[in-house]
A and B are shown apart, each in its own frame.
Chain A
Amino acid sequence: MSPAAIDQAPSEHPQSDISRSAVGSFAEGDAHQVYDSAGVDRSLIRWMLSLTPSERLQHVQGTIDLVRDVRPVPNGNR
């Protein structure tokens, strides 16, 4: 499956499809399989590797900022 197809159809890669024969490995010929045998989403790694170190840092910083800024909504305002 091409990377583009992976982006379009993430639900087609359930973890139950994972081969458990060897931790962290793929079956031969599955270079673009999303989950490896350890359950790691390789598409996330490939996306991270497509970024520069600055962009990776921005992504982490964005998550930190979100967690820092998020506030609970009082019951009456839902």
Chain B
Amino acid sequence: MAIASIIQTLVAHDVEFIVVGGMAAVLQGAPVHTIDLDIVYALTESNIRQLALALTELGAVFRDDPRRIVPNRTHLQSRGHKLLQTTAGPLDVLATIESNTTFEDLLPDCAWLEVDGARFRVLSLPRLIVVKEQLNRAKDQAMLVLLRATLDEVQKRRP
């Protein structure tokens, strides 16, 4: 399974990352469809080294760039979004989200999930809702409705 194999590769290389965006919503039960995986990663030197190794294994190149540029450590040190294509599917590698929110900033708002034995962090539904509320784009507003409804159903299930 392609998306799972990206996650498993990141976990196997001990990359510190948080799944955000639509896939984080799906993984927590929101009925949304998305085809890419968005992650926020820790900007430490050791993590960038591990992430670069994982991306090499995944055959990652910058998407929509005919030169097929391979992301290197300098790219990964930058704060911009790296929109990549891997052999297992699209992968958006984000140093920050919102205005300048980092991996460390998001840690208190994460849940742990497991897929095929790989354990990893996802941004919690309440925090995903906050992120989407700050983005005034039509696609985010549409997802917001689904995220709020999912959180409502999750809360109903709690004892």
Contacts and interface: CB of A to CB of B under 8 A. Distances in A.
A57 B115 CA distance: 8
Main secondary structure of the interface of A (DSSP, over half): helix
A22 B109 CA distance: 28
B3 A38 contact: no
B113 to A, nearest CB: 5
Nearest to A51: B29
18 contacts: A23-B145, A24-B145, A36-B149, A38-B145, A42-B153, A45-B30, A47-B31, A48-B26, A49-B150, A49-B153, A51-B29, A54-B4, A56-B27, A60-B3, A60-B34, A64-B3, A64-B35, A64-B89
A57 B33 CA distance: 10
Interface string B74-112: 000000000000000100000000000000000000000
Interface in A32-69: 36, 38-42, 44-49, 51, 53-54, 56-58, 60-61, 63-64, 67
A13 B146 CA distance: 18
A39 B89 CA distance: 31
Given A45-B153, A60-B34, A64-B2, A40 B146 contact: yes
Nearest to A48: B29
Interface residues of A, number: 26
Contacts of A46: 153
Q: How big is chain B's contact interface, by range?
A: 20 to 34
B3 A61 contact: yes
Contacts of B156: 31
Contacts of B33: 60, 63
B8 to A, nearest CB: 11
B4 A49 contact: no
Given A24-B152, A41-B31, A56 B26 contact: yes
